[in-house]
Structure 1
Amino acid sequence: MNPADLASHGCSTHELLSSDKWWKGGPMHDLDSLEFKEKIANPFQFENTIIAATVSSATIPRHNLNNIITSEEPTTYLKTLLKYKALGCVVQILFERLSHKPALQARLQNVFAALTLIRRNSRQGLNEGALVIMTIAHQQSGVFSRNKIEAMKLDLSIDRYGLMVMRGRIRQEYQDDSFAAHPWVIEGKSNFAEACIIQFHEKNMQCGSKTTPSKLRRIFWPIPARHTVNSIISKCYFCKRNNKRPFPTPPFQMLPQSRCVPSIPFNYIGMDEAGPFIIKERSS
């Protein structure tokens, strides 16, 4: 009998706890919340630390948080970020602290690119962390110089956040939250654009090189878009597996001798030369 069914079969709580079939669980269940966080803290999971800290955002003065974050250990980051969850301040401070580590900055961009797509609710729902990461992505883009913008002849403008947007023919905000009347212009070769393209590509069931830009341009407008999307989708593991050539038809076996040597006429069939017989049935 399954010990989990003892209570449903009339076993009392006292009998169940005193029974040898009762199991409290592993040793981790006896730890309190602080000891449990110490046990599960992995110093190598830097991205998971940032994601856990940015699940919900709160506000805290920038100078106070600057004085708090002083250690380089990710475990200290975990305690501090889980406690305050100051989204925008944490992003800005981490970028300043990781200025000498471009690889970690790229990883941080990839994390917040997904957070931007999840947390964004039209123009009103742009949180502080997404605004910071979008601003940094614009500052790192070399394609957005004034001469190149004039050369591209694009209908670009600056929104109230100070970010560059593509105006297009729609001048009013659309009611659908997944659609922006003025999508943000991003550098197609940046890590931010790459993370956004991967996010839209996987979210729309591994869509192709034509559907992905159309879905992406509802919120972001990468420049260049088609070449960037094609280069990223060509590296997708699942697309490579699904778009592989079909299994080739195996070669046919050699025909047997009976099918290669002609046989004499009427070797397997016969011919009735007598003609049909008329048969009459009578009742008697």
Structure 2
Amino acid sequence: MTLTRRRLLMGAGAGIALGSGPARSLWAETGIDLGSMRISSLSDGHLVLPPEFIFAPMPKDELGPVLTEFGIGNGPLTPDCNVTLMQDGGRVVLFDTGSGTAFQESAGKLLDALDAAGVAPEDVTHVVFTHGHPDHLWGVLDEFEDPLFYEAEHMIGKAEWDFWTDPNTVNDIGDARTTMAVGAKRRLEAMEDAITFFEDGEEILPGIAARATFGHTPGHMAFELRSGSESVMVVGDAIGNHHVAFARPGWNSGSDQDQGTAAETRVGLLDQLSSEQMLMIGFHLPHGGIGRVERKGDGYLFVPEGT
């Protein structure tokens, strides 16, 4: 398994400056080879989030030292967004579609990254969703509300589909997530004729197995990409950041819909990744999200590959 260099973009095509500061420099592509698979992490830009979106339910007296250790200040959080692309022979598989143009100005840069990787939207044969949040799903339609990856089969876990398309979800999910529910339902229903469902444990495509990682959303899925004895886990938002999610994985996070279940999922997944030293790709982790998990005291540490 080999890691290739990151190709960087700068400016409006790759990132948006925060306030009056300099434009962010972001990777267009970070890649690894796994057997015949070429796996790339593509930048969709970054989000801008209030700290309480994640930290609100955490113990404040214990949280402060963790944030200091990782250099997390009091300003907005700006997590990267990493969309995984897998190319294997004639298969071109996207894991999630990014934010598109309707969510946040700092995100929705996937088309620039795909172009830098030499992939056109019509080249994509499969789109596989980890879950239905805006930064993972809303890029499925273009600015004209038409399917962007119009040649692709779209795949999603049945539990996740059932949750977002349930007409009761928009009323039950809570005011802070109502827009998410409305947006997910509209986009998924627009893609219904192109959707294939799968369940936990299924090999959804050759060398790609679905792994239930419920909690962040009711049907969140991770995916293990395997060739021989080597594998990579695409974890989506089951591990949502490089700081408290690793250092204190058992803490509830405000970003998760079922906080208790998500914490249990996170602890189990980190234990597996660290004990097996399996390479992972995290959607909101730094350096393209590609790295390994190491034990550190009572918690864990994200170690970017090749740094």
**If the length of structure 1 is used for normalisation, what is the TM-score?**
0.23
**If the length of structure 2 is used for normalisation, what is the TM-score?**
0.21
The structure in which a higher percent of residues are strand is: 2
